Amino acid sequence: SFAKFDRSKPHLNVGTIGNTPFTLPLLFIFNNNKIGHIDHGKTTLTAAITKYLATKGSAEFKDYHDIDKAPEEKARGITINATTIEYESQNRHYGHVDCPGHADYVKNMITGAARMDGGILVVSAADGAMPQTREHILLCRQVGVKNIIVFLNKCDVVTDPEMHELVELEIRELLNSYQYNGDTTPIIKGSALCALNGTDPELGEKAMEQLIEALDNNIDIPEREMDKPFLMSIDSSVNIPGRGTVVTGTIEHGRCKINDNVEMIGIRRKPQQTTITGIETFNKQLDFGESGDNVGVLLRGVTKEQVKRGMCLSKPGSMDVRRNFQAQLYILKPDEGGRSKPFFTGYRPQCFLRTADVAVDVTLPEGMQMALPGDNFTCTMKLNYPLPLQDMLRFALREGGKTVAAGVITKCLE
């Protein structure tokens, strides 16, 4: 028989600092506007946070230029410029992403290149909310960002408290209009530049202290993948004579153990009940598998012919299958490997969703004539066959070997 798999070293996405369990809330610092306005100060604020926390010994100071030269990253075939830095507060560890351009945020959020648990919305007191502020908040809502906090920047330039109040009111209204709680959202007033240069302690250091406190108190720690019901997307299947059929894949969330009853769902309308009789990874036997594990699962009474790539194994009754959903799409530009031509309602590319590769019908929103490269919008989609779907699930649309679009499910429909 196989040796037992050593679980003392596996990837753990949970750790502890002091007694507080933490995952890594990923913060996005956003709001960018190049149209006739100087930017609101995201990169300056990012540098200022590290400077402030460096004095407390819980971050490494990164200066403006370290952060500003964002490296290129690829996610689902799309190029995104982003700098990720890390810092710690008293009881949490944060990953923090700064992007140079508006389009980088859009792509990052839609592809899920970096998971986003919260956002710091930076608004210059000199400019107030901008059209792109609205778009960013909408996107946060669409991709399921639970909490936003606001940093009202450049209060060294605009010192009039009445002006601050006006901008504050405007932002609270905007947040409310996208179902965030604008009335209780913390709005920290200060100056990133003062904090970075160590000039005005009230607008600088003090504001940084308030900002970190606001992060700790207002950004929720996301539910651990391990605590969700078992779900594994099937990659492939192998028949093992005398033993049955092994399906392989990565456990997306939850746990499974030997003798668990599970359902094989997707592609067909009806689920197929089965029981797990073995779990292994790299030829070693496991008593259980958990979120993130790449495993082979031996199933009782299932033939290889009954298994199709794209189906999922799940905890019975935890998920149903659907064909229709609403999604936020980003259409790739030709220089990103996408098409140069627009597409219209009725467009039918292949949708790559988990391990499935399925034809999909795209219906553009009412009043939208065509979708052009670079566009970002909400639309409805219908799969050729049903799959287990959930909000915030990412996918890619491909056609003729090209990635045409990246998308995220924003609402499951019937």
Q: Which does residue 38 touch among ligand GDP, Mg ion, none (CB within 5 to 8 A, set by kind)?
A: ligand GDP
Report in angstroms how near the CB of residue 40 gets to ligand GDP at its nearest.
5
Spatial separation of the C-alpha atoms in residues 86 and 58, rounded to whole Å: 9
Give contact residues for ligand GDP (rule: CB under 6 A).
32, 38-44, 153-154, 156-157, 191-193
Query: Which position's Cβ is nearest ligand GDP?
Result: 39
Query: Which position's Cβ is nearest Mg ion?
Result: 43
Give contact residues for Mg ion (rule: CB under 5 A).
42-43
Report in angstroms how near the CB of residue 46 gets to Mg ion at its nearest.
8
Q: Examine the residue annotation and report whether 127 is marked as an active-site residue of this protein.
A: no
Spatial separation of the C-alpha atoms in residues 312 and 354, rounded to whole Å: 9
40 or 315: whose CB is closer to ligand GDP?
A: 40
67 or 409: whose CB is closer to ligand GDP?
A: 67
Q: Examine the residue annotation and report whether 250 is marked as an active-site residue of this protein.
A: no
Q: Which does residue 136 touch among Mg ion, ligand GDP, none (CB within 5 to 8 A, set by kind)?
A: none
Q: Which does residue 86 touch among Mg ion, ligand GDP, none (CB within 5 to 8 A, set by kind)?
A: none
Report in angstroms how near the CB of residue 194 gets to Mg ion at its nearest.
18
Spatial separation of the C-alpha atoms in residues 223 and 221, rounded to whole Å: 7
Q: Examine the residue annotation and report whether 355 is marked as an active-site residue of this protein.
A: no
Single out the catalytic residue among 23, 40, 42, 136: 42
Half-sphere exposure of residue 289: CA atoms within 13 angstroms, side-chain side: 31
Report in angstroms how near the CB of residue 68 gets to Mg ion at its nearest.
6
DSSP for 350-411 reads EEEETTEEEEEEEEPPTT---B-TT-EEEEEEEEEEEEE--TT-EEEEEETTEEEEEEEEEE
104 or 290: whose CB is closer to ligand GDP?
A: 104
Task: Provide CB contacts within 8 A for 143, sequence distance 6+.
Answer: 109, 110, 112, 116, 328, 392, 408, 410
Q: Which does residue 147 touch among ligand GDP, Mg ion, none (CB within 5 to 8 A, set by kind)?
A: none
CA distances from 296 to 38, 133, 152, 273, 292 (A): 54, 46, 51, 18, 13
Q: Examine the residue annotation and report whether 44 is marked as an active-site residue of this protein.
A: no
The catalytic residues are 39, 42-43, 102
